[in-house]
């Protein structure tokens, strides 16, 4: 089938354009628009990449902070353990300083006991406040009355002074009590190092 030809009327008027054409500079506006879209896409991708780098750095920083905190806690634990050891060492040092006058005293008392005499009981108590002050409680079973004098002289030879001695005798057993002050004792210091 064939379409018949018709005459179509043209309703267009023959007048000139109402506005003059755009200047050539304004023709750059669409080009700039598309360039700005491309630039926005590039900048958005750069922003996204920098955001990923920043997140990775943040994770690394948080790991470093956690490692530093763990190391700090280990150091604090080690410091606490060492302070405990130092405290124990200071207590041992004080105990040794306190036992320093007791050891030669016990040896001197044991050596002063003659044949025929027996040291029934010997109790040496150190005072808490002073390492050089001792409480002596001694019981001797002897028939020789001079045994107590020999023991007292042996104690005095070790550098002790007697304070408020008490002596009692019953059934051949001499009970002797006294407070001893060690003359060579160094003064106690309350300094902590």
Longest dimension (CA), the chain: 167
* Structural domain contains residue 84: yes
Mean pLDDT of the chain: 83
Are residue 92 and residue 111 in the same domain, yes or no? no
Do 118 and 95 have their domain in common?
A: no
Domain-ending residue, one of 99, 130, 158: 99
Q: Is the pLDDT of residue 191 over 50?
A: no
Return the pLDDT at 115. Answer: 83
Domain membership of residue 64 (yes or no) is yes
pLDDT at 48: 96
Angle in degrees, CA 67, 71, 77, rounded to 5:
145
- Judge whether residue 54 has pLDDT over 70: yes
Asked if residue 66 has pLDDT above 60, the reply is yes
**Is pLDDT of 167 > 70?**
yes
pLDDT in tens, 84-143: 999 999 998 887 776 766 778 888 888 888 888 888 888 888 776 676 788 889 988 887
Domain presence at residue 23: no
- Half-sphere exposure for 100 (CA within 13 Å, toward CB): 16
Q: Residue 172: CB partners within 8 Å, gap ≥ 6?
A: 141, 142, 143
106 with 88, same domain: the answer is: no
pLDDT band of residue 45 (cuts 50, 70, 90) is: very high
Please state, in angstroms and rounded to a whole number, the distance separating the CA atoms of residues 16 and 12: 11
For residue 159, which of 132, 140, 136 has the smallest C-alpha distance? 132
Domain membership flag for residue 188:
no
DSSP letter at 45? Answer: H
- pLDDT-derived band at 174 (thresholds 50, 70, 90) equals confident
Average pLDDT of the segment spanning 159-171 = 86
Checking if the pLDDT of 159 tops 90, the result is no
Residue 71 belongs to domain spanning: 28-99
Ranking 18-27, 75-84, 171-180 by mean pLDDT, the lowest is 18-27
Rounded CA separation 39/43 (Å): 6
pLDDT at 189: 45
């Amino acid at each position: 089938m064939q379409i018949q030809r018709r005459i179509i009327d043209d309703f267009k008027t023959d007048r000139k354009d109402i506005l003059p054409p755009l200047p050539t500079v304004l023709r750059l506006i669409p080009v700039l628009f598309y360039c700005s879209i491309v630039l926005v896409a590039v900048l958005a991708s750069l922003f996204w990449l920098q955001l990923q780098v920043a997140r990775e750095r943040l994770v690394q920083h948080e790991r470093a902070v956690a490692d530093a905190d763990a190391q700090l806690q280990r150091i604090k634990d080690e410091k606490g353990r060492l302070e405990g050891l130092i405290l124990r060492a200071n207590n041992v040092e004080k105990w040794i300083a306190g036992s320093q006058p007791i050891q030669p005293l016990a040896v001197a008392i044991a050596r002063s006991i003659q044949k025929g005499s027996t040291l029934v009981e010997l109790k040496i108590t150190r005072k808490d406040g002073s390492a050089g002050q001792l409480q002596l409680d001694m019981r001797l079973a002897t028939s020789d009355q001079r045994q107590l004098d020999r023991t007292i002289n042996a104690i005095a030879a070790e550098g002790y002074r007697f304070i408020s001695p008490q002596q009692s005798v019953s059934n051949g057993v001499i009970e002797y009590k006294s407070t001893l002050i060690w003359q060579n004792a160094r003064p106690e210091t309350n300094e902590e190092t």
